[in-house]
């Protein structure tokens, strides 16, 4: 992935390319940031949970808008649907973990990884510069790290969760850069 992005991130980016990178980086960072807020609000039974959840669920719509600037509305809406499912499954997994329901946790984890496969396949189909296996690997890493972060928050391992969040944010930036580079190559942005 680093090698593939190196020709996009060569220091000679146009203003339009920089704008695309910044947009996608913002969206991916918002994704992991609002996910973290959701985890904290859920674990601590905070009164802001409904508001945080509502804001988190805006993220797939924001991604759909960004994708609709390059792809068909149907493709953008498909990504929105898959990404919304990603969040809904995560919420069910976290709530089951909080309740100590390991059977549901295992079922939701399986659905979460199946959803990641669907997202990776979808991205690989709409852009020839996006490798399905690379996306699958990044998404699996994202799921593993996010689940670990959730467990740490739920069990009061706050220092570890912050450390893991730094890695999650770094992975999110890699996904953003992969997405931006593929779009720049596909559409000669």
Write the CA distances from 131 to 77, 82, 185, integer angstroms: 21, 18, 13
> What is the chain's mean pLDDT, rounded?
95
CB contact at 8 A, 62 and 175: no
CB contact at 8 A, 156 and 129: no
Write the CA distances from 78 to 84, 93, 118, integer angstroms: 10, 23, 10
CA distance 8 to 70: 17
Residue 12: per-residue pLDDT: 86
Across the range 10-25, mean pLDDT stands at 92
Please name which of 127, 65, 69, 60 lies closest in space to residue 88, comparing C-alpha atoms: 60
Residue 4: per-residue pLDDT: 45
CB contact at 8 A, 178 and 6: no
| Domain total in the chain | 1
Asked whether residue 1 carries a pLDDT value surpassing 90, the answer given is: no
CB contact at 8 A, 102 and 119: no
**pLDDT tens-digit map of 67-104:** 999 999 999 999 999 999 999 999 999 999 999 999 99
**pLDDT tens-digit map of 46-68:** 999 999 999 999 999 999 999 99
Across the range 106-111, mean pLDDT stands at 98
Q: Decide: pTM greater than 0.85.
A: yes
**pLDDT tens-digit map of 118-149:** 999 999 999 999 999 999 999 999 999 999 99
CB contact at 8 A, 151 and 97: yes
Mean pLDDT lowest among 6-10, 11-15, 49-53: 6-10
Q: Tokens 């994202």 appear where? A: 142
- Judged on CB neighbours under 10 Å (0-12, 13-18, 19+), 11 is exposed
CA distance 30 to 57: 11
Supply 135's token pair. 């996306």
List, in order, residues 6 or more apart from 119 with CB less than 8 Å away.
Answer: 79, 82, 83, 86, 135, 139
Look up the domain containing 36 and give its range: 2-187
CB contact at 8 A, 115 and 82: yes
């Amino acid at each position: 992935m680093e090698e593939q992005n190196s020709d996009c991130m060569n220091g000679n980016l146009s203003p339009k390319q920089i704008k695309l990178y910044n947009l996608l980086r913002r969206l991916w960072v918002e994704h992991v940031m609002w996910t973290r807020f959701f985890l904290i609000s859920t674990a601590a039974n905070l009164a802001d949970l409904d508001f945080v959840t509502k804001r988190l669920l805006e993220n797939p719509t924001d991604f759909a808008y960004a994708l609709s600037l390059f792809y068909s509305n149907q493709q953008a809406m498909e990504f929105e649907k898959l990404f919304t499912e990603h969040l809904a499954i995560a919420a069910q997994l976290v709530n089951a973990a909080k309740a100590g329901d390991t059977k549901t946790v295992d079922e939701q984890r399986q659905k979460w990884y199946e959803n990641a496969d669907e997202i990776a396949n979808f991205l690989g189909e709409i852009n020839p510069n996006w490798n399905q296996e690379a996306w699958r690997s990044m998404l699996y890493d994202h799921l593993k790290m996010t689940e670990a972060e959730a467990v740490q928050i739920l069990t009061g391992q706050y220092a570890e969760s912050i450390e893991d969040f730094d890695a999650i944010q770094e992975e999110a930036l890699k996904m953003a850069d992969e997405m931006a580079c593929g779009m720049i190559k596909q559409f000669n942005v």
